[in-house]
Structure 1
Amino acid sequence: MSTNSTDGIRSHGIDFCTFGMFIIDEIEFEEPEPSVNDIMGGAGSYAVVGARMVAGQEHSRSVGWIVNVGSDFPESIRETITSWNTHCLFRENMDRLTTRGWNGYGPNEKRDFKYLTPKIRLDHNSLSEGLLLSKSFHMVCSPARCCEIIQGVLERRRKLIENGNLLASRRPIFVWEPVPDLCRPEELSRFYEALKHVHVVSPNEYELAQFFGKDTWDSGNRDDRAIADNIVNSGIGPDGQGLLVIRAGKEGCYAFSRGRSLALPALQHANVVDPTGAGNTFLGALAQALVSAGPIHVINSELEQWPPWLQICTEWEGDGIIPSALICATVAASFSIEQVGMPQISSDNAAELWNGTGYTERLRVYTKQLKEIFDKSTHAI
C-alpha cells in the first residue's frame, strides 16, 4: 500500500473519506459520436473531486480515499490523482485487473452500465487508522450496507478510544447516497432504519420516487412534499435532526430538515457535456463543507448584507453552515458536467483552476445569480 500524501494526516487531519469505488470507464455513445476508453470514473472519484474543490490547495490532503490498482492501471490516471495532492491510498494488486465498467448511452440519454471486471467494495475494515478518524464519510450503498459500514466505523473508533485516542470520540458525519438499483418499495423499511444512523441522506428525485412506487418526485406536488416531510419527521440521524437533500439535476436541489426547507437552483448557463458523476461531486463537496471552513467565507462576504440570506441563516441554526455547504456543493457539481470524465486541474500564477476557472470565482458568480433569481421569483430559497 502506498500514498501520495504521507504527511496529510499529521499536518491537518482527514476531513473527508469516501467508501465509493474507483472505476475505469469505457463509454459508448450513440453514433456517430466515437466511444472513449480509460476514463477515470466511479462514485468515489467524483465525490473526491468535489471534496477536493472545497478543500482547496491549502487543505488538499484533508481529502482521503482508497484506489484499488490492478495490473492494467493507466499511468496517466495515476498522474491525474497525484496532481490533486489528496491523501490517496493506492492498494496495488498486480494479480488482478483494475475495476472497469461499460457505460452505454441510448436514445434520450438513457444510460446502461455493467462491470467488465470484478469489483472490490470498500468497507470499514478497508480504512487505515488515519482514514478511520475522518470527520466525514460518504457512502453509496444499500440501506443494509449503510448500517453495517456505520456500525463498523464506530466500533473501530471505540477501540481507538479505549486505547487512549480521544480524536475518535467525536462522531463523524455520515453522508449517504442510496444505491439506485435498490431504491424500490420493498427496501423502504430498511431505508427508514438506515436514516437513524446517517446525518445526510441524498437520493435524486427519481431514486426517492422509486422508493414509493412513483416515477419522479416533484417539489410542486403536495403529495411529494408530504413524502419529504414524512422522511425528516421520521428522524434522520442520532438526534433526529438530520438532513434530506433531494438532487434534481438542472432544477438544483431541495433540502429538508425538521421544520425547515431550502431550494437552491443549479448554476445557470452551465455547459452540460456529460452529467455523469455530478451527484457524487455534489455530495463530496457537501460533506467537506459541513466539517471544514473551506470557502464558506467567500459566500458570507458576498451574501452577508443580503436580507434573504440573513433570514436563511437565522432559520438554519443561525450560522448558515448548511445553506453555505449546499451552495458549495451546487457549484462543485457544475464542474463535473462540463466534460466526459473528471474536471481538469491547473494553475495560473499559483491560483488553482478547474477547467480553467477558479472554484471561488464560480462561487461568486453563483451567489450573484442567486440574488438575481430571488429578485425575479420565489423559486430559489
Structure 2
Amino acid sequence: MNDDISFASFGLVVLDEIRFPNRKPLTNVLGGSGAYATLGARLFLPSPQSRSIVWPINIGNDFPEPITKLLQSWNTQLVVKQALDQLSTRGLLEYQDTTFGPKKFKYTTPVLTMQEYQSTALLSSKVYHYLATPEEMKTRISNILALRTQIGIQERPLLIWEPAPLACKADTLQTCLEAAALVDVFSPNHIELAHLFQDSPIPPDKFDIERLALKILDSGVGPEGNGVVVIRAGENGCLVQSRGLARKWIPPFYETGMEEGQASNVVDPTGAGNAFLGAFSVGWIHTGGDIVEAASYGSVAASFALEQG
C-alpha cells in the first residue's frame, strides 16, 4: 500500500472523432473525462511526483500504439486492462458552429467501463474523480470506501463527481441531489446545472448559476453537508461555494482577445472542465483544502486544454 498516491480518475479514455464546421475532422483524438482529468492533475505534478497519480484505463484491441506510448510518457502509474475481444471506446463529437458552444456527442462503440482495482495502489489515493450517473455514483462510492476499509484505510478521500451530461435533466434532479450528498465536490457545468432545473434559461446567466448552486447546497453536498459546489461556467470562469464559504467567482485564466464573438486563442474546449477538476484535486492537496486556491489551479489547467489543438 502506498501512502503517497494523490489522484485517481475513474473517468473514461475515449478515442474521439471531432468534427467542426468547415474544417477537416480530427480522428483518433485522445479524449474522455479520465484522460483530461489526469492531464489536469499531471500539469501540477511534474516527474517524479507524477508517479503519485494512479491511472486505471480500459482499452480495446484497436487502441493505437502511439497513444499508448504517449500515455506511458506521462510517467504516471498506468494500470491498463485490455479487452482483446472488444473495440476501444470511441465517440463522435460534433460542434454545431464556430463558437465552440452547441455540440452533439455520441458513443460509436460500446463503452468499456472502469472498475475499482483492489490489488493496486489506487485504493490509498487522496482524491478520486468520477464522471458518472447518480445511480452509478451511489454504487461506486460504496464500493471504493468498502475496499479501502477492508485493507485498513479509515481516512475518507476527497470524492469529486461530474454528473454524466445525459443524466442532467429535471426528472433526475432528486436522484442527483441524493448522490451529491455522498460526495465532497459536486461539479456540473453551467449548462448541465440549468438542465437539472427547468426554471432556468439555457445558457444561464451568473445570477441564475448562483441561485441554482445555492439550491444544491441547501439540499446538502457531502455526508455532513460540508461539501463544495463547483460550477464550471465557460467564459465566465467558475463559481465555487460551500456552506462555510460565500460564493466566489474565479475568472478564466486565458486572455479573451475577442475576434468575431469568440476567444481567439481558444482552439478546442473539449476536456477543459475535466482538466479543471484534475488540477483542482492537486490544488486541494497542495493547499490543505483551500477550495478557492484549488479552483485557481483548475482555471490554469483548463486554459491548457482550451488553447491546444
- Pairwise same-fold verdict (TM > 0.5): yes
Aligned equivalent of 1:266: 252
Distance verdict in 2 for CA 1:138–1:86, change over 3 Å: same
Q: CA deviation at 1:155?
A: 1.2
Largest Rg, 1 or 2: 1
| 1:224-263 paired onto structure 2 within 5 Å | 224-259=209-244, 260-263=246-249
Aligned equivalent of 1:96: 86
Aligned equivalent of 2:259: none
- TM-score, with length taken from structure 2: 0.90
Distance verdict in 2 for CA 1:287–1:320, change over 3 Å: closer
Aligned equivalent of 1:70: 60
Structure 2 counterpart SS, 1:169: coil
**Segments of 4+ in structure 1 off by > 6 A?**
none
CA distance in 1, matches of 2:221, 2:57: 30
Distance verdict in 2 for CA 1:65–1:268, change over 3 Å: closer
CA distance in 2, matches of 1:63, 1:18: 9
Structure 2 counterpart SS, 1:193: helix
Q: State the one-letter code of the partner of 2:197.
A: F
Q: Does 1:130 align with 2:117?
A: no
CA distance in 2, matches of 1:37, 1:127: 34
1:208 to 193, 202, 206: 193
Structure number with the higher helix fraction is 1
Q: Report the count of equivalent residues.
A: 296
| Residue identity (%) | 39
Q: CA deviation at 1:320?
A: 7.2
Distance verdict in 2 for CA 1:150–1:40, change over 3 Å: same
CA distance in 2, matches of 1:209, 1:105: 20
CA distance in 1, matches of 2:37, 2:296: 16
Structure 2 counterpart SS, 1:206: helix
CA distance in 2, matches of 1:274, 1:268: 13
Structure 2 counterpart SS, 1:55: coil
Structure 2 counterpart SS, 1:56: coil
Q: Does 1:286 align with 2:280?
A: yes
Structure 2 counterpart SS, 1:90: strand
Q: CA deviation at 1:212?
A: 0.6
Distance verdict in 2 for CA 1:320–1:51, change over 3 Å: closer
Contact 1:250 1:266 in 2 (8 A): yes
Aligned equivalent of 2:106: 114
- TM-score, with length taken from structure 1: 0.74
Structure 2 counterpart SS, 1:220: helix
CA distance in 2, matches of 1:275, 1:127: 34
CA distance in 2, matches of 1:227, 1:154: 30
Distance verdict in 2 for CA 1:52–1:268, change over 3 Å: closer
Q: Does 1:149 align with 2:134?
A: no
Aligned equivalent of 1:217: 204
